[in-house]
Structure 1
Amino acid sequence: MKSITKSFFTVGLVFLELLVVADINFSFCNGSSHVGCVQSERKALLSFKQGLSYDPSNRLASWGGDGDCCRWAGVVCDNFTGHVIQLRLRNPHLEYFTDYEEEPYASSATIVAVYEAYERSMLGGKINPSLLDLKHLIYLDLSGNHFDGHDIPEFLGSIENLRYLNLSNAGFSGMIPQQLGNLSSLQNLDLNFEFQSSNDITVLHVENLFWLSGLSLLEHLDLSGVNLSKASDHWLPMTNTLSSLKVLQLSKCKLDQYHSLPLPMVNFSSSLTTLDLSDNRFSNHLILSWICDLSHLVFLNLGRNRFRGSIPVGLQNLTSLKHLDLTMNYFNSSIPKWLYGFSHLEYLSLRQNYLQGRISSGIGNLTSLERLDLSFNDQLVGSIPRSFGRLCNLRSISLSGIELSQEMCEILDIFSRCISNNLESLYIGGSQISGQFTDQLGKFKNLHTFYASENSISGPMPSSLGELSSLKFLIISSNKLNGTLSEIHFANITRLLVFDASENPLALTVSLDWIPRFQLAYLNLRSCNLGYRFPLWLQTQKFLEYIDISNSGISDNIPNPFWNILSRTYQLNLSCNNMYGPIPELTNASTLFVLDLSSNNFSGPLPLLHSNVSTVNFSNNTFSGSISQFLCYKTRESKKTEVLKLRFNSLAEELPDCWMNWPSLIILDLGNNKFTGSLPTSIGTLMMLESLRLRKNHFFGTIPVALNNCTELRVLDVSGNELVGIIPSWMGERFSSRMIILNLRSNKFHGFLPLELCRLASLQILDLADNNLFGVLPRCIKKHKCHGDNNISCEQRCMV
Structure 2
Amino acid sequence: MPTWFLNLPTQFESLNLSSNQLRGEISYLNVRSSVDLSSNRFIGPLPSVFPTLQLLILSNNSFSGSLFELVCNSSSGDFLEVLYIDKNLISGDIPDCWNHWSYLFLLNLGSNNLTGKIPPSLWHLNLTMLNLRNNTMFGELPSTLQNSPDLVMFDLSENHFSGNVPAWIGDKLHLEILSLRSNNFDGHIPHKICDLQFLQNLDLAHNNISGVIPKCFNNLTAMATTNKTNNFVHAGYEYAASIFLNALLVLKGREDEYGSTLGLVTSMDLSANSLTGEIPKEIGNLVGLLSLNFSRNLLTGNIPDSISSMELMESLDLSMNRLNGEIPPSFSNLNFLNHFNVSYNNLTGQIPTSTQLQSFENLSYLGNHLCGPPLTKNCTSKGIPIDVANNGSSREGSKVNWLYVSIVLGFVMGFWGVVAPLFFIRSWRHAYYRKLDHVGRKLYVSWATMGM
What TM-score results when the alignment is normalised by the length of structure 1? 0.38
Contact 1:515 1:540 in 2 (8 A): no
Is the aligned partner of 1:483 residue 2:92? yes
Residue in 2 that maps onto 1:507 = 115
Q: Give the whole-Å Cα distance in 2 for the aligned partners of 1:768 and 1:384.
A: 69
Contact 1:408 1:457 in 2 (8 A): no
List per-residue Cα deviations over 1:327-369 (Å, max 9, x = no partner): xxxxxxxxxxxxxxxxxxxxxxxxxxxxxxxxxxxxxxxxxxx
Give the secondary structure class of the aligned counterpart of 2:24: coil
Residue in 2 that maps onto 1:545 = 152
Contact 2:124 2:147 in 1 (8 A): no
- When residues 406 and 536 of structure 1 are mapped into structure 2, their CA distance, relative to the original with a 3 A threshold, is farther
Is the aligned partner of 1:711 residue 2:335? yes
Residue in 1 that maps onto 2:234 = none
Shift in Å, 1:601: 2.0
- When residues 435 and 389 of structure 1 are mapped into structure 2, their CA distance, relative to the original with a 3 A threshold, is same
- When residues 655 and 568 of structure 1 are mapped into structure 2, their CA distance, relative to the original with a 3 A threshold, is closer
Corresponding letter in the other structure for 2:95: S
Q: Give the whole-Å Cα distance in 2 for the aligned partners of 1:653 and 1:464.
A: 49
List per-residue Cα deviations over 1:21-80 (Å, max 9, x = no partner): xxxxxxxxxxxxxxxxxxxxxxxxxxxxxxxxxxxxxxxxxxxxxxxxxxxxxxxxxxxx
Shift in Å, 1:749: 3.8
Q: Give the whole-Å Cα distance in 2 for the aligned partners of 1:516 and 1:719.
A: 42
Q: Give the whole-Å Cα distance in 2 for the aligned partners of 1:745 and 1:675.
A: 17
Is the aligned partner of 1:384 residue 2:8? no
Q: Give the whole-Å Cα distance in 2 for the aligned partners of 1:722 and 1:678.
A: 10
List per-residue Cα deviations over 1:417-443 (Å, max 9, x = no partner): xx35xx2111111111011235xx1x5
Give the secondary structure class of the aligned counterpart of 2:178: strand
Aligned to 2:315, which of 691, 695, 702?
691
Contact 2:196 2:220 in 1 (8 A): no
- When residues 682 and 578 of structure 1 are mapped into structure 2, their CA distance, relative to the original with a 3 A threshold, is closer
Contact 2:326 2:347 in 1 (8 A): yes
Contact 2:172 2:196 in 1 (8 A): yes
Q: Give the whole-Å Cα distance in 1 for the aligned partners of 2:361 and 2:17.
A: 45
Aligned to 2:54, which of 448, 460, 464?
448
Q: Give the whole-Å Cα distance in 1 for the aligned partners of 2:342 and 2:142.
A: 40
Q: Give the whole-Å Cα distance in 1 for the aligned partners of 2:144 and 2:326.
A: 52
- When residues 503 and 670 of structure 1 are mapped into structure 2, their CA distance, relative to the original with a 3 A threshold, is closer
Shift in Å, 1:656: 5.3
Corresponding letter in the other structure for 2:356: F
- When residues 472 and 508 of structure 1 are mapped into structure 2, their CA distance, relative to the original with a 3 A threshold, is farther
Contact 1:644 1:667 in 2 (8 A): yes
| Matched pairs, number | 340
Residue in 1 that maps onto 2:202 = 595
Corresponding letter in the other structure for 1:475: Y
Residue in 1 that maps onto 2:291 = 667
Shift in Å, 1:538: 5.2
- When residues 601 and 424 of structure 1 are mapped into structure 2, their CA distance, relative to the original with a 3 A threshold, is same
Shift in Å, 1:555: 2.0
Shift in Å, 1:495: 1.2
Corresponding letter in the other structure for 1:494: S
Shift in Å, 1:503: 0.8
Give the secondary structure class of the aligned counterpart of 1:688: coil
What TM-score results when the alignment is normalised by the length of structure 2? 0.64
Q: CA RMSD in A?
A: 3.7
Residue in 2 that maps onto 1:582 = 188
Counterpart mapping for 1:638-787 below 5 A: 642-655=266-279, 661-726=285-350, 730-731=353-354, 734-735=355-356, 739-742=359-362, 743-749=364-370
Residue in 2 that maps onto 1:371 = none
Q: Give the whole-Å Cα distance in 2 for the aligned partners of 1:509 and 1:658.
A: 37
Q: Give the whole-Å Cα distance in 2 for the aligned partners of 1:493 and 1:681.
A: 51
Give the secondary structure class of the aligned counterpart of 2:56: strand
Counterpart mapping for 1:296-315 below 5 A: none
- When residues 537 and 527 of structure 1 are mapped into structure 2, their CA distance, relative to the original with a 3 A threshold, is farther
Shift in Å, 1:590: 1.9
Shift in Å, 1:393: 3.5
Corresponding letter in the other structure for 1:397: L
Give the secondary structure class of the aligned counterpart of 1:551: coil
List per-residue Cα deviations over 1:204-258 (Å, max 9, x = no partner): xxxxxxxxxxxxxxxxxxxxxxxxxxxxxxxxxxxxxxxxxxxxxxxxxxxxxxx
Residue in 2 that maps onto 1:125 = none
List per-residue Cα deviations over 1:171-202 (Å, max 9, x = no partner): xxxxxxxxxxxxxxxxxxxxxxxxxxxxxxxx
Give the secondary structure class of the aligned counterpart of 1:496: coil
- When residues 647 and 551 of structure 1 are mapped into structure 2, their CA distance, relative to the original with a 3 A threshold, is closer
List per-residue Cα deviations over 1:110-167 (Å, max 9, x = no partner): xxxxxxxxxxxxxxxxxxxxxxxxxxxxxxxxxxxxxxxxxxxxxxxxxxxxxxxxxx
Higher relative contact order (CA 8 A, sep 6+): 2
Q: Give the whole-Å Cα distance in 2 for the aligned partners of 1:651 and 1:689.
A: 22
- When residues 605 and 726 of structure 1 are mapped into structure 2, their CA distance, relative to the original with a 3 A threshold, is closer
Counterpart mapping for 1:38-57 below 5 A: none
Counterpart mapping for 1:236-255 below 5 A: none
Contact 1:499 1:522 in 2 (8 A): yes
Residue in 1 that maps onto 2:45 = 436
Contact 2:187 2:208 in 1 (8 A): yes
Structure with bigger gyration radius = 2
Corresponding letter in the other structure for 1:501: L
Shift in Å, 1:559: 4.7
Contact 2:181 2:205 in 1 (8 A): yes
Corresponding letter in the other structure for 1:480: L
Residue in 2 that maps onto 1:397 = 15
Q: Give the whole-Å Cα distance in 1 for the aligned partners of 2:123 and 2:291.
A: 39
List per-residue Cα deviations over 1:598-627 (Å, max 9, x = no partner): 22222333343332243999xxxxxxxxxx
Is the aligned partner of 1:525 residue 2:146? no
Q: Give the whole-Å Cα distance in 2 for the aligned partners of 1:401 and 1:387.
A: 18
Shift in Å, 1:548: 1.1
Corresponding letter in the other structure for 2:200: F
Shift in Å, 1:392: 1.6
Shift in Å, 1:502: 0.8
- When residues 652 and 477 of structure 1 are mapped into structure 2, their CA distance, relative to the original with a 3 A threshold, is closer
Contact 1:690 1:712 in 2 (8 A): yes
Q: Once the two structures are aligned, what percentage of the paired residues are identical?
A: 26
Q: Give the whole-Å Cα distance in 1 for the aligned partners of 2:101 and 2:277.
A: 52
- When residues 773 and 552 of structure 1 are mapped into structure 2, their CA distance, relative to the original with a 3 A threshold, is same
Shift in Å, 1:389: 2.4
Q: Give the whole-Å Cα distance in 1 for the aligned partners of 2:44 and 2:130.
A: 25
Shift in Å, 1:741: 3.6
Shift in Å, 1:544: 1.8
Corresponding letter in the other structure for 1:519: N
Shift in Å, 1:406: 1.0
Shift in Å, 1:480: 0.5
In structure 1, list runs of 5 or more residues that go unmatched: 1-382, 618-639, 758-765, 775-800
Residue in 1 that maps onto 2:71 = 465
